[in-house]
Amino acid sequence: MLSLQSIRDNPQAVAEGLARKGVDPSEVEALLAEDRRHRELLREAEALKAERNARSKEIGRLKKAGGDTEAVQAEVRALGERIAALDREAAEREAALRDRLLRIPNLPHPSVPDGPDETGNVVVKVWGEPPRLPFPPRAHDELGAALGILDFERAAKVSGARFVVYRGAGALLERALIAFMLDLHTSRHGYTEVLPPYLVKAEALYGTGNLPKFEADLFRVDGGAFYLIPTAEVPVTNLHRDEILEEEALPLSYCAFTPCFRSEAGSYGKDVKGMIRQHQFHKVELVRFAHPDRSYEELERLTGDAEAVLEALGLHYRRVLLCTGDMSFSSAKTYDLEVWLPSQGRYREISSCSNFEDFQARRANIRFRPQEGGKPRFVHTLNGSGLAVGRTVVAILEQYQREDGSVALPEALRPYCGGRDTL
RNA sequence: GGUGGGGUGGCCGAGAGGUCGAAGGCAUCCGCCUUGAAAGCGGACGGCGGUCUCCCGCCCGGGGGUUCGAAUCCCUCCCCCACCGCCA
């Protein structure tokens, strides 16, 4: 959520920023009109309340002195009715205002390029090169099925489309990757591992920006009391909701392995084959709570931490800076890491690393107390996948495939696979 | 699922219809003292909002109610703790 104060102070700048993200700039004027009306009502109600408070105290004094209070009481009662009516209207205005505000996306950082969609993204780094395969590369689902380690048919029998069953060495590979990633981030990159709940309350999803706008992407459980998490970002960012942290504790760095659940409504026909897009997948997530002055350094670091996984696995990838049209609702700046998939002849997202600045922190009320004193300030929150596990399996199968249909295991993974070197 | 006890400022904790945004302690900050520090002494010290150095309003888990007036009484929901039941 943007700060109402900053919108009042620089409506022009906000409108321009929102226009870059494709929001109608007249939204800003509508919002400010709502705000003005709300404050008018507030002023009126507060003046009456001040009077009521003064009169009530007078009654207290009179009663103590044994005087007659009937007349004043009647007067205050009448005041109360007017106040109640004003309060009701003010509350309605405020709810409308808040709803508008919650549906406005974050502003893009100045370093973010303009663009309509993914075609406007900018490649900022390429690591390694595509493996030279002297044979037509096969797709991961075909390889996995042939090796007997991925079973899409039985998954469909049990749960329908967009699920997979890992089997034997496939399940082992997934498990090995999870352990490998967590070990790397905890021992080398300084993250604290957490294992959060997979079911969260609606408030948590408001905090990260998934609600109210993106309900359709989520699975609801137990009549709406809970939602299945679409990413560990949700429970982990909310770990410090409504807290005031100590400045010297920043940055806080967490990594978490969780399953992720996405209903992916509206994405029918996209990546229907294989396991690029699933209703349930695994992800190791990185989350940082940073000082506002240092959050962009932290974004570079966090992105580098995710890249370290790909590099340790020897997977060819590139880093792209997302343009305004391809960024998520809550993000101010996002790097995607895209891994090379030989069978598709293109790069596919395997990690997304974002700085949300104070957008989520304001929603979730996550602050820190400045060392030099003064009011608590909002932290900046960041997160990134480090990495999406299923897509990492896809990349390994495809990049390490051999002509006979077997797949070599990256060196770094072998200790996690009981020493085996081939699938 | 049942029974009982609780949710008050950064933390602990008093307060039980009126001058209570809330005693006291801890922590923190600023002075004094000191060669320096500790201790001691004095002072400051919650959050949010309003045409905001004054002032005013709101906030004692959330929401609603009673009342001229609610941290305090009533209803309801949530959460925590203890015990019982059930369960991995």
pLDDT tens, residue by residue, A44-56: 999 999 898 888 8
**What is the interface pTM, i.e. ipTM, of the complex?**
0.81
CA–C1' nearest nucleotide, residue A60: B18
Q: CA-to-CA distance for A183 and A380, rounded, in angstroms?
A: 26
How far out from the chain centre does Cα A206 lie?
10
Distance A8 CA to B55 C1' (A): 23
Of A342-351, A366-375, A376-385, the range with the lowest mean pLDDT is A366-375
A266 pLDDT more than 60: no
| CB distance A245 to A281 below 8 Å | no
Active site residue A138: no
Active site residue A77: no
Span A88-102, pLDDT tens digits: 888 888 888 888 888
A274: left (phi over 0), alpha (psi -120 to 50) or beta: left
Which bases of chain B come closer than 7 Å to a protein CB? 10, 18-19, 28-29, 47-51, 56-58, 64, 68-69
Q: What are phi and psi of A393, to 5 degrees?
A: -60, -45
Residues 70-99 in A having a C-beta less than 7 A from any atom of strand B are 73, 76-77, 80, 91
Active site residue A377: no
pLDDT of residue A269: 63
Distance A371 CA to B32 C1' (A): 24
Average pLDDT, chain A: 90
Span A69-81, pLDDT tens digits: 777 888 888 888 8
pLDDT of residue A154: 92
Of A352, A362, A363, A385, catalytic:
A352
Of A277, A318, A377, A420, catalytic:
A277
Active site residue A43: no
Residue A241 CB closer than 7 angstroms to strand B? no
Q: Which residue has the higher pLDDT, A309 or A249?
A: A309
Burial of A318 (0-12, 13-18, 19+ CB in 10 A): middle
Distance A145 CA to B69 C1' (A): 75
